[in-house]
Amino acid sequence: MNVPDMILYNGKITTLDPSQPEVSAIAITDGLITAVGGDELLNSATEKTKKIDLKRKRTIPGLNDSHIHVIRGGLHYNMELRWEGVPSITIALEMLKEQARRTPAPQ
């Protein structure tokens, strides 16, 4: 194993791997998880390795919700206001009034 940049240890780490659903430590190298297991992962640390004691707290994988609603966007694009470059609140309010006038009920 490469020398990890960071080790999270003493945790309750959810892995989402059915064969090993929870571990107490993970090692991270170059932004990637390179090892999972117990606190023995600390043995691979050097003085440059950042060590974070999770104090038995639950840790879960990062959640990245990057989805879009293509159909909604296509159907309603012209009913949504664009605020970029609006120079004043007065103009913004006029834009809202005009949009309300154009928007079909019951939107």
Both ends of the chain: CA-CA distance in Å? 57
Q: What is the pTM of this model?
A: 0.59
Higher pLDDT, 103 or 14: 14
Could you give the CA distance from residue 102 to residue 21 in angstroms, rounded to a whole number?
53
At 77, the pLDDT band (50, 70, 90 cuts) reads low
Both tokens of 103, joined, read: 């928007």
16 with 61: CB under 8 angstroms?
Answer: yes
Domain boundaries, the chain: 6-59, 70-102
Q: CATH says 6-59 is which class?
A: mainly beta
Query: What would the pLDDT profile of 3-28 be if each residue is shown by its tens digit?
Result: 999 999 999 999 999 999 999 999 99
For residue 65, name the pLDDT band (cuts at 50, 70, 90). Answer: confident
Cβ atoms of residues 11 and 59 within 8 Å:
yes
- Kindly state the average pLDDT of the residues 97-102: 89
